[in-house]
Structure 1
Amino acid sequence: MHKKKPKSIYTSRSSYSDRAKKENESFKEVIVPVQAIETALLLLNSQEDAVLVTVFKNITEYARKQDENVEELKRLKLLDLLLEKKFYMTSDAVMIRRFATYLACTLVESMDVLRDLEPARVIFILGICLEAYLMEVDDFSLEYLTVIINKCLQDPQVANEMLQKSDFLEKFFMQVSSTENPDILWQSFEAIHKMLLLLDAEKLLAFSTLPTFPIDRVLCDILNEFVDIRSAALKIVKDLIVDTSDKSAFADVSRCVFTLQQLTQLFCDYAITDHGNEAIEALATAMRTEKVTQLFFEHNFFDRIMQNVAAHLLEYAASVKCKVIWIFAENAKYEHFLQRIYEANVTDLFLDCLLQVDPYGPAPYVITGMNRMMKNPNAANRILQFYEAGVIERLASIISQPGIDIRTREQAADLIGNLLRFAFHDTAHQLLALQISLVLGRIFGQQPQDLSIDFLLSLLNIIEQLAQNEDYREILGESTLLTMNIALMLKNSFATAILVNNIFRCLCTLADEAPVRTVLLSHYIAPSMKRGLKSLSNLVKTSVTNFIMQTARFPEMVHEYIEAGVLEVLILNQRLAMCVSTWGPAIEAILSKCPSLKFCIRNHLGFTDSTAGNDFLVSKRKFDDFRVFQNILKEDVSPLHPILVVNFERKVSPPDLIIEVPIECFPLDERPDVAGSWCYCRKPGDSELPRILDLLNEELEKYGLMQNPAKMSRCIDFDNLAKRAKVIAEIVEAALCSNLKRLDLNTTEECSNHTVKCHLYDIARALHCNFIPIGMVHTGCQFERAILFKALADQIGLPCTLQRAVDGRLLFNEVPLPVEIDHDPHCDKKTMKFMPWRMLRPTHIVDLMFHVGELYPIQSRQALQYLRLY
């Protein structure tokens, strides 16, 4: 120990200070009453701590009195002064820093950051706060700074700036982990949540796995006694727990289990209050990953929650009870837990919430859970048992009300579709009793903002399923409103390829009904199809061509495709067949029902192309553009362009198709030569053609070559094919040989085409029209004879083709005959006679001019001579 130095009683001095001089140099204390806030703000530039403390104290009391005082301080730019002084961080006086940060916090909290401040200004404020935060050690000052920082983070641009401040984040995280101040904890959790919202999955993973990130502190505060802290912590948990990968913050199984334990405890403690809703949302979010769901069941947290639900079910408010099942709806996403969920009677909870009368409809997850439970047969049967309680009526009501959340309506439509797949007839009867066609028609007519793509796809799926049954399809087809609104919706849906595809697929199932086709034709189906064929999406083009192939069996649809220009778009864009496999078949589907256009375009009719039952029109000209031929059919009546017409069913010209041209339409110099009125008809009657057919049938019967319909529907009579072809050729030659002599095949002499041309011109003059019935023609060469041969062959079921030569002036016919090759089963008559006509190949050309009825093998010398190629 040191000895204490004894105190001196007297100390000698050699010099003494001048007291008078010291008193003259010192500045005496000044006490001045300040009554203006502007003067007080000037004193904030003082260097005296006592002055600053006194002024700050008065300003703080002034700001606390009323909100108007805070607005006055904002007007006087107090915040600018505090930022300029950097919150007096250079001062050693803690109270000064507290007052400065408190006033700055008060001013910033009274602002709307996004509306009142420019982003650059907010970034500047945040920079000063971060600088002060790094220097500050006082708990209260840190609290106020945290509030300011949290407020600034409302601007996402500012939040991104802060994510780059690694030195600040390190101290910030350490402060969060160690603080005992509940306000700092609450504001810090809120700030972290706002930062997490800005990050994508990759950046979120990197941010949440920083060594100092306070994930454990967040989990421990899930059960914090303060509601705000609990809520803020749950927000962070919901942001992070959706990622349980090997590198995430929740990769550790023990951390996942602890989180589930905390959340389950929070739910059990607050389930019957509004605070339990946040726990339910966090648990439901956690259940979105299979790893957490597995732990949820393995550690019996599911059973604990079910026990709590069973114990307090009667105490739950309706909203709370329906909120609880959000957890189970997420559990049901995994099929291996469905049986356990069903055994816990969760299905009944779903049904109870569904059937509650709520003008806003149930929450989406209620019906989502039921959709997932449909994968369990027991749960699906339980839902069927509630049909009598009005399940289908409730679902129909939900999908039809535009005021209900669109996600709920989507799930309701999906559930109806699932019920149709599980119990088709039971569900269909319920839907038809509710006039589902009228309900769906009204829904399709609702405003676009009340609908969604997924919702419309689900509704179209319902229609497709119902239309699989013919009786149900007929009922749907009777609804004009349904078909009309689908057609109008199609017209406005080309921005979404998947929707257009599903609309056309749905219409394919309904188009079998005549009322549906009538409504579609009157509501712009052809313009919609043309727009679809010109779409950039191959999916849309494929859906349109599929629709054409499905509906080409209806004459009115084919007529519309031709007249409205759908066929034109298909023909002019055949290059698209390289990327749309159904493009070519769609063209053929239309042309197969219109042999006139097919022959004009393809210059060929095959074995399956029949002229029977149609007006078959052939022009003497060969057209490079079929639209010229179409215009002639519609407008031209000039005898310079003769068109041969084949029709066995019209013996006289229909009176309604006869066009009378009054004499006033003729030039004055021609009127004296015109006697009375002048008439013409584009679809003239033909009384001679049926007579020629009768002669053919008599000849075939005389030789025993009449076809046996029952037999011919199953096979081809190859044995008599050549004989029947010869009989037809002779009938054709007899009908068209007037004023023509038969020539020899080996001669170079040509048929007198001039005689034929004059004959056709005379007929056209007599008819006042260029549409000439083939029966009225008595003089014809290869061109006319080939047309008549094809027409008669189609009437008796003889397979033959009609082919135009390259020069366009010559037509010829081909027939299929088996070419016997030793040991080749594909050429055996017994095999080929049962082959479909579309698989036959032409083998012989029919001679109609020289040795009438002879069949020449293709590429033989006689065939080339007949075609004048040799």
Structure 2
Amino acid sequence: MGKKVKKESASSCKETFEPLPIELKSPATVMLLLSSPEEEVLVKACEAIYKFAERGDENEVAPLGLGALEPLCQLINHNNKLVKHITRHHEDTVVHEFATLCLVSLSVDFTCKVQIFDNKGLPSLIQLLSSPDPDVAKNTVETIFNLVQDYPCRQAVHELGGIPPLLELLKSDFPVIQQLALKTLANVTTDKDTRTTFREVQGFEKLMDFLCNEVNVCKGRGDFSDLHVEALQVLANCVGESESVHLIHQGGGLTRLMQFVLTPSGPEVQSSAVKCISRVAQNSETRKLLHEQDVEKTLVELLSVEGDIVKMSACHAVAAMSLHLASKDSFRDLGGIRVLVQLLGSESSALREAAVQALCNLTKGSRINAFAVYEAGGHEILVQQLHDSCPMMVVHTAATLANMAEQEVIRCSIVSQGAAQALVEPLKSVNPEILVPATLCLAALVCNAEARAELNSAGGLPLLVNLLCSSHKEVRQNACWAVSVCASDESIALEMCKIGALELLQEINQSVNRRSKFSELALARLLDANLSIKYSLTGYLTSTDITSDGFYDAGKLRAGQKALTLEELSKQPVNRHQPIIAVNTASEKGKWTEDDKYKDEDNQKAQLDSATQRSWMMMCDASLQSLVTKATKSILPLNDKSEQYTALARLVSQAMGGPVEMDKLHEFPWELHLSELKFALQSNVVPIGMICKGIYCHRAILFKYLADRIGVSCTLVRGEYNRAWNEVLIFKGPPSVPGCSPQPCRYIVDLMHQPGSLLKANSRAAIQYQTI
């Protein structure tokens, strides 16, 4: 029975189905054949799908909708163990070849990539990287390259152990396979974990072997420098971390890299090698390692080679290495700065930009290097480059000039080349990347009076003031710094106040988020240059705030209220408000002369009659000039400070109506007197020398002005309800006690009730004088 069964079985196996030729026209039917157990059918089905997908983008996507990906992913790992004959093994390879060939076409589509990944196609593909068949290997690595354009696949290649077989493909005899492997490695090594694995499997060493064995690799196959460019890209990814660089350095990798840089090769390869050095130089620790390898000498040599592409890469490397202090000196000593200045004249805009970036870093924090650029004539070319249309050129140029302008001799030369005017155009930009160095450069240059005048005449002040409103913190701070420097010029400060700088700075300083030391300094400097506005805004002038002709008191300035100039105030119609008290002793020939009776009624009438025919700005306050002369002659010779303050107080009191008892202050007709002056002058502006009846606020201003003219220190403080006073410092102490120096004591000067009395600050008498 057993033998019979065996015989029947054997007889059954010998029976074969006659070949059935079928002509298929529907892609869906071909998809069904992918599940066939016959290798020959599978091969033909895969070949048909590949040819179909190759015809266009729509055909590539069509098999996806028909469910081709799942069987194809299974076929790339196809292996029929029942087939033992050599020809049958060959058919397995053919199946792999056509299956992977189909996947190459499909993997360029994003949706297909997702399905290949979801159907576990990547593990099988990684296994096929080691296939002895070059066509299978080529198709496989190309498919993987397409897949790793997306991060999940990139990470999966590392996790599934794909790095070692990819490195092994570098030994292939086929450049196309090597190139695809390098492109894939360049992509996957952008991931930090992958770089760690790459380092652990000696990836750097294998790539260096690949690069340094150029003759053996390329022998008899022509120029394959593009492979070296791809390999250097992988290296550049791997040398961006200090840990990797240290391990590479310990194995002699940096030395080999430096040798490769100097090895004669094509410009593109040499440029890529220098880019690797630039990548190493991104870290402070690794810059030190490169410095120990004398990288500066190599880079300076490369700045003079033929070909802009290598020079440009060398400039970028110099810029990176210049962040290392010792390298700054090395580049200068090796003549690198002079070469870089020469490159500023290149016809290539990209090379000029790279050169100026290197100079920017070389001059930052190095006065010697800045002077070296100046000696090479670099400042002249740099000023011209501020007109360049390339944004990054302007960025690096402005930053370099800012570095150089810290030295006065260089700053004057830069200004003489028209740098302030050249910066006006960059100030119009809305790009913070341009505005940051432009405003910084401007702040450095406007220390020079010529630069301030040039900026003003070129219309740069409104642009600068507008930048105070910038939402970019650094731009706003640099603009504040530039404004504070410009404010050292009184006329420029006045111009900035006219265009709203004062109001903007007040608003900024009221903001918790935008206020800074820069904005506070800018406001303080602007007020220091315009004491009239400072007094109106703050109600306080220090002893170092020296009043002069043109000072005026327009009353207390409310928050947000625009500060008007004296010219603007003088043009307003006469109103019922308190007058603007103005100070002016500028004399004009043929105008009022004074005798000792400088305020008799006839003389005052003459001043009023003359004032009706001229604007106040044209008037000379002869009475005030007479007071200055008297103070100079009678008070300045006094040796004791207390005597000087007392005498000056009595002079002021006498000029403004004499002593007034406190309980009779309401009987003092100062308001009527000032109204009459305003009516007679037909102006809200009243010269202080014309006031014959003045109270606290008027006398305090006159005292401050006269004290400043004769060099006697005092403050001016505004109180409430027309109160104002002057505070002085008097040094008092026991002169006979050894080792004891006189101590300063603060006093309030009485100008109203007992003129000349010095009231100790915070005493009952002083407080009574200061308040109602």
User: % of aligned pairs identical?
Assistant: 19
Structure 2 counterpart of 1:729, which letter? A
1:854 alignment partner, one of 753, 757, 768: 757
TM-score, normalising length: structure 2: 0.81
Name the residue aligned to 2:20: 50
Name the residue aligned to 1:478: 416
Looking at structure 1, the residues matched to 553 and 258 of structure 2 have their Cα atoms a distance apart, in angstroms, of 81
1:591 alignment partner, one of 501, 504, 527: 527
1:503 is paired with a residue of what secondary structure?
helix
1:249 is paired with a residue of what secondary structure?
helix
Name the residue aligned to 2:374: 428
Name the residue aligned to 1:440: 382
Name the residue aligned to 1:803: 717
Structure 2 counterpart of 1:102, which letter? E
Q: Does 1:234 align with 2:172?
A: no
Gaps of 5+ in 1: 8-46, 57-77, 655-673, 706-719, 833-841
Looking at structure 2, the residues matched to 243 and 622 of structure 1 have their Cα atoms a distance apart, in angstroms, of 61
**Aligned-residue offset at 1:4:** 13
Looking at structure 2, the residues matched to 190 and 245 of structure 1 have their Cα atoms a distance apart, in angstroms, of 22
Structure 2 counterpart of 1:789, which letter? F
Name the residue aligned to 1:32: none
Name the residue aligned to 2:398: 460
Looking at structure 1, the residues matched to 260 and 558 of structure 2 have their Cα atoms a distance apart, in angstroms, of 83
Q: Does 1:813 align with 2:726?
A: yes
1:730 alignment partner, one of 634, 644, 650: 650
Q: CA deviation digits over 1:275-314, x for unaligned, max 9?
A: 444344444444334455445444445666777787x74x
Structure 1 counterpart of 2:405, which letter? A
Looking at structure 1, the residues matched to 641 and 75 of structure 2 have their Cα atoms a distance apart, in angstroms, of 107
Looking at structure 2, the residues matched to 602 and 234 of structure 1 have their Cα atoms a distance apart, in angstroms, of 70
1:557 alignment partner, one of 492, 502, 505: 492
2:515 is paired with a residue of what secondary structure?
coil
Q: How does 1:289-308 map to 2 (within 5 A)?
A: 289-300=241-252
Q: Is this contact kept in 2: 1:558–1:590, CA < 8 A?
A: yes
Q: How does 1:679-694 map to 2 (within 5 A)?
A: 679-682=614-617, 684-694=619-629
Q: CA deviation digits over 1:120-155, x for unaligned, max 9?
A: 758537x51333331463433432332332233334
Looking at structure 2, the residues matched to 188 and 289 of structure 1 have their Cα atoms a distance apart, in angstroms, of 31
Looking at structure 2, the residues matched to 780 and 51 of structure 1 have their Cα atoms a distance apart, in angstroms, of 124
1:180 is paired with a residue of what secondary structure?
coil
CA 1:638 to 1:419, structure 2 compared with 1: closer, same or farther past 3 Å? closer
**Aligned-residue offset at 1:578:** 6.4
CA 1:566 to 1:321, structure 2 compared with 1: closer, same or farther past 3 Å? closer
Structure 2 counterpart of 1:799, which letter? S
Structure whose alpha-carbon radius of gyration is higher: 1
Q: How does 1:138-537 map to 2 (within 5 A)?
A: 138-156=92-110, 158-165=112-119, 167-177=120-130, 179-199=131-151, 204-205=154-155, 207-210=156-159, 212-241=160-189, 248-250=196-198, 252=200, 254=202, 257-258=205-206, 260-265=208-213, 269-270=217-218, 273-274=224-225, 275-300=227-252, 313=264, 316-317=265-266, 319-330=268-279, 334-338=286-290, 341-342=293-294, 349-358=298-307, 360-362=308-310, 364-372=312-320, 375=324, 381=330, 384-386=333-335, 391-398=339-346, 401-402=348-349, 404=350, 408=354, 411-414=357-360, 417=363, 423-432=369-378, 436-437=379-380, 439-447=381-389, 450-452=390-392, 455-480=393-418, 482-493=419-430, 495-496=431-432, 499-537=434-472
Q: Is this contact kept in 2: 1:332–1:373, CA < 8 A?
A: yes
**Aligned-residue offset at 1:509:** 0.9
Q: Is this contact kept in 1: 2:443–2:478, CA < 8 A?
A: no
Q: Does 1:105 align with 2:50?
A: yes
Name the residue aligned to 2:664: 749
Name the residue aligned to 1:837: none
Q: Is this contact kept in 2: 1:467–1:473, CA < 8 A?
A: yes
Structure 2 counterpart of 1:768, which letter? Q
1:772 is paired with a residue of what secondary structure?
strand
Q: CA deviation digits over 1:580-628, x for unaligned, max 9?
A: 232333222111221211222222323222212x411123687666427
Q: Is this contact kept in 1: 2:427–2:464, CA < 8 A?
A: no
CA 1:266 to 1:128, structure 2 compared with 1: closer, same or farther past 3 Å? farther
CA 1:640 to 1:401, structure 2 compared with 1: closer, same or farther past 3 Å? farther
1:50 is paired with a residue of what secondary structure?
coil
Q: Does 1:131 align with 2:71?
A: yes
Count of residue correspondences: 719
**Aligned-residue offset at 1:855:** 1.5
**Aligned-residue offset at 1:728:** 0.6
Q: CA deviation digits over 1:352-377, x for unaligned, max 9?
A: 4422454x543643223334555485
Name the residue aligned to 2:600: none
RMSD: 4.2
CA 1:634 to 1:156, structure 2 compared with 1: closer, same or farther past 3 Å? farther
1:468 is paired with a residue of what secondary structure?
coil
Looking at structure 2, the residues matched to 135 and 628 of structure 1 have their Cα atoms a distance apart, in angstroms, of 84
Structure 2 counterpart of 1:586, which letter? A
**Aligned-residue offset at 1:679:** 3.7
Looking at structure 2, the residues matched to 629 and 331 of structure 1 have their Cα atoms a distance apart, in angstroms, of 59
Gaps of 5+ in 2: 8-16, 79-91, 592-608
Structure 1 counterpart of 2:632, which letter? N
CA 1:370 to 1:637, structure 2 compared with 1: closer, same or farther past 3 Å? same
1:576 is paired with a residue of what secondary structure?
coil
Looking at structure 2, the residues matched to 173 and 128 of structure 1 have their Cα atoms a distance apart, in angstroms, of 20
**Aligned-residue offset at 1:792:** 0.8
Q: Is this contact kept in 2: 1:817–1:844, CA < 8 A?
A: yes
Looking at structure 1, the residues matched to 531 and 319 of structure 2 have their Cα atoms a distance apart, in angstroms, of 51
**Aligned-residue offset at 1:553:** 0.9
Q: Is this contact kept in 2: 1:466–1:472, CA < 8 A?
A: yes
Q: Is this contact kept in 2: 1:680–1:768, CA < 8 A?
A: no
Looking at structure 1, the residues matched to 624 and 581 of structure 2 have their Cα atoms a distance apart, in angstroms, of 12
